[in-house]
Amino acid sequence: MRVKLTMRNRLLYSLILLAIPALGVGQERDAKTIVRDAIDHWRGLSSYTEMTMIIHRPDWQRSMTMRAWTMGDDHSLVRVVEPRKDRGNGTLTDDKSMWSYSPKINRVIKVPSSMMGQSWMGSDFSNKDVARADEIVDEYEHRLLGAEQVDGVTVYEIEAIPDEDAAVVWGSEVLRIREDHVVLKHSFFDQDGELVKSLTTLEIAELGGRVTARRQRMSKADVADEWTEIQVNEVDYDVELKESLFTLSNLRNPRDL
Amino acid sequence: MHLFGILLRLAWRNLWRNHRRTIIMLGAIGVGVWAMIFMTALTRGMVDQMITDSIGVLPGHVQMHHPDYRDDPSISNRVSISDAALNEKFDDADFEAWASRVRVPAVITSERESRGVTLLGVDPAAERDISFFDYDEVEGRFLESASDQGIVIGKRLAETLETEIGKRIVLMSQDPENDIADRGFRIVGLYSANTKAIEQAYAYIGKTTAQKMLRVDDATTEVVFLGEDYRNVEPVYEAVTSAVDDTVLVQRWFDIDTYLGTMLGVMDGFVLVWVVVIFLALSFGLVNTLVMAVFERVREIGLMLALGMKPASILGQILIESMFLLALGLAVGNFLAWATIVPLQDGIDISVVAEGMEMWGASSMLYPKLYASDMILASGVVLLLGFLASLSPAWRASRYEPVEAITKV
């Protein structure tokens, strides 16, 4: 049902697009810029976030509280605070590489390429989703499908098609981005144009001086009642972070918990 | 000579005195020999195919790697000789075919699934004779050049990944610095193989494309050489070893796949054991027949001895009779085997049990292989052991005391 709706929407937007020829000029750059801005807005030059991740399955549900630091495009560090038994588990990403640390085995493991497609901490996000959120800018062709007014705010719908040799399996991704750079929905379509999974923003709030998504849910299209939600509790943007935060030694010996 | 002629004639006639017994015995020997040869041909066919299949996949009769490659088949362990140097060394060499390639483990991902595969970066022109499938039989097309941007995977793998020709998949591996090397590829062809496992295992991309993706310039991880016959790889092996130094490791196929190598040796032993076992069962019938034949003719033998025939001639006569019996039985058995195997040589469909067979790498078609050497081995063993088994009744017959034998009731 959701698939059909989206397809119809896309058709609708295409029609709108045809009706407004002015939009066609320079829209490629515009679309790319919108996406770029959205990612920068969401992350800032550097950020500190405290969030809760809820993994929901038909017969169980668990939640984790985590702290995350990001700096620039490449560096990020995520560390689990709650529940107690997972406390200290961490993930460090640097460019395309990813390391994970678990205090229980006291080892830093470089996540091998073979595991990049697998689930991150048991959630519906893959390691890849976590390690490289911004390749959507560089390795894709963007197209503005349309713009509409929702509650008096303009919402852009942008289709991103990965380059021929991009390491992306999706046929296309469709993003709905509000004019204040908040991503409302990020849908992943397979190469037949069928929806596979989508990241939906459920709640928007002003946090750390910026209006951002407060609650986002990743759900797969073909399995009902399975999703992962990320709820942001606290954000600080453009914080002063040391380079040493994003090192393997810091991953192993947390000085931040 | 004259005596031998008489003995031959006596033995032949004695053989047909109780023709029903002889025919039954002939039948028994015939079926026994048939079973020996037929079973041998079946297993031979199976092993042969396993080996050719596996060599086809290995592939090549002789391979060259970095010395550590077998323990850690990663891109870090590259062949130290550059492609240019390899060409110089082996272009004029007398191989059926040879090729250098990039062979590393990789992960292939579609929208829904991901699988571990062996990535083969190949030069399609050089691999034509080495490849285990025919380029023309590839659904879609095979790679066209070493810098082809497409990927060719097995049919089964495509099913598992829920993808098809024309769609993109992502291939992920590691570069020499252990960093992730990945790229999207469009599937241009699907190959078929004899077993599911093989169709799941290999993904082909162009060699140059692979080198670019893994960031290794023109290095390769494997060089393969194909000789004329997998049973005789020494000439190729020597030619290769003499051309390189010890920074690379050159191995024959049976060094690489020791299981297969052992298999071939075990097979020869197995054939002999099988033949002997069947013969042991047969020998009871044979000895019994001879004992009966002698027992029936005690008085007659006594008479011949009394008339002056030497015991040695009695012994010879019985042995010749036994040999006649065996030779006829062997002729029947060999003919039966030949007549049943030849029509089956196009293959027996055993797809009913294919899943089980695949577990040890055999395919769902069984092609019996009739080797002259196996027929000769079976016949030789039967004749030799038959001769030994007949010695005892023949010896006893020749040792009769003429008077006692004549008067025996």
Please give the residue range of the domain that contains residue A149: 2-252
* CATH classification of the domain holding A145: 2.50.20.10
Q: How many CB pairs under 8 A join A and B?
A: 67
- Residue of B284, B373, B271 whose CA lies nearest to B28: B284
Instruction: Pick A96's closest partner by Cβ from B107, B167, B179.
Output: B179
Instruction: Pick B167's closest partner by Cβ from A116, A191, A196.
Output: A191
Asked whether the beta carbons of B184 and A164 are under 8 A apart, the reply is: yes
Instruction: Pick A167's closest partner by Cβ from B172, B178, B179.
Output: B172
Tell whether A109 is within 8 A of chain B (Cβ).
no
- Residue of A226, A227, A174, A220 whose CA lies nearest to A197: A220
Residue A210 lies in a domain: yes
Task: Decide if the complex's ipTM is over 0.90.
Answer: no
Measured CA to CA, the distance from residue B257 to residue B403 in angstroms comes to 69
Residue A257 lies in a domain: no
B62: exposed, middle or buried (C-beta count within 10 Å: 0-12, 13-18, 19+)? buried
3-state DSSP assignment of residue B320: helix
In chain A, the residue whose alpha carbon lies closest to the alpha carbon of B114 is A117
> Which pLDDT score is estimated for B378?
84
* A110, A169, A194: best to mutate for the B interface, most B CBs within 10 A: A169
> Which pLDDT score is estimated for B328?
92
Percent with pLDDT over 70 in chain B: 94
The highest-confidence range among B96-100, B227-231, B378-382, by mean pLDDT, is B378-382
Q: pLDDT per residue over A189-216, tens digit each? A: 888 888 888 888 888 888 878 888 888 8
User: In A, residues 163-202, which contact B (CB 8 Å cutoff)?
Assistant: 163-171, 188, 190-191, 196
* A3, A96, A113, A192: best to mutate for the B interface, most B CBs within 10 A: A113
- The residue-averaged pLDDT of B250-258 equals 80
Percent with pLDDT over 90 in chain B: 3
- Residue of B210, B105, B116 whose CA lies nearest to B160: B116
Higher pLDDT, A257 or B127: B127
Distance from CA of B104 to the nearest CA of A (A): 12
> Which pLDDT score is estimated for B352?
66
Q: pLDDT per residue over B175-201, tens digit each? A: 888 778 888 899 998 988 877 778 888
Burial B322-359 (b: 16+ CB within 10 A, else e): bebbbebbbebbbebbeeebeebeeeeeeeeebeebbe
Q: pLDDT per residue over B291-325, tens digit each? A: 888 888 888 888 888 888 888 998 998 899 989 98
Instruction: Pick B168's closest partner by Cβ from A118, A169, A188.
Output: A169
Domain range summary for chain B, segments of one domain joined by +: 2-54+261-407, 60-256
Q: Do A117 and B178 touch (CB under 8 A)?
A: no
Residue A50 lies in a domain: yes
Q: Do A117 and B114 touch (CB under 8 A)?
A: yes
Q: Do B180 and A116 touch (CB under 8 A)?
A: yes
> Which pLDDT score is estimated for B92?
72
Q: Do B107 and A114 touch (CB under 8 A)?
A: yes
Instruction: Pick B184's closest partner by Cβ from A110, A168, A196.
Output: A168
List of chain B residues whose C-beta atoms are within 8 Å of the C-beta of residue A188 = 111
- The residue-averaged pLDDT of A220-241 equals 85
Q: Do A117 and B186 touch (CB under 8 A)?
A: no
Residue A205 lies in a domain: yes
* B319-B325-B327-B330 Cα dihedral, nearest 10 degrees: -140
Q: Do A110 and B181 touch (CB under 8 A)?
A: no
Distance from CA of B163 to the nearest CA of A (A): 9
Which pair of structure tokens corresponds to residue B183?
């790229």
* In the predicted structure, residue B290 carries a pLDDT above the cut 60: yes
Q: Do B168 and A164 touch (CB under 8 A)?
A: yes
Residue A131 lies in a domain: yes
- Residue of B7, B96, B116 whose CA lies nearest to B56: B96
Q: Do A169 and B181 touch (CB under 8 A)?
A: no
Measured CA to CA, the distance from residue B65 to residue B85 in angstroms comes to 15
Distance from CA of A212 to the nearest CA of B (A): 29
Measured CA to CA, the distance from residue B304 to residue B3 in angstroms comes to 14
* In the predicted structure, residue A4 carries a pLDDT above the cut 70: no
Q: Do B184 and A166 touch (CB under 8 A)?
A: yes
Residues of B with CB under 8 A from a CB of A: 105-107, 109-112, 114, 116, 149, 163, 167-174, 178-186
- The residue-averaged pLDDT of A112-121 equals 76
List of chain A residues whose C-beta atoms are within 8 Å of the C-beta of residue B112 = 190, 196
Measured CA to CA, the distance from residue B204 to residue B217 in angstroms comes to 18
Res. B327 pLDDT band, cuts 50 70 90: very high
Asked whether the beta carbons of B407 and B309 are under 8 A apart, the reply is: no
Res. A134 pLDDT band, cuts 50 70 90: low
Higher pLDDT, B228 or B280: B280
Which pair of structure tokens corresponds to residue B69?
């490659």
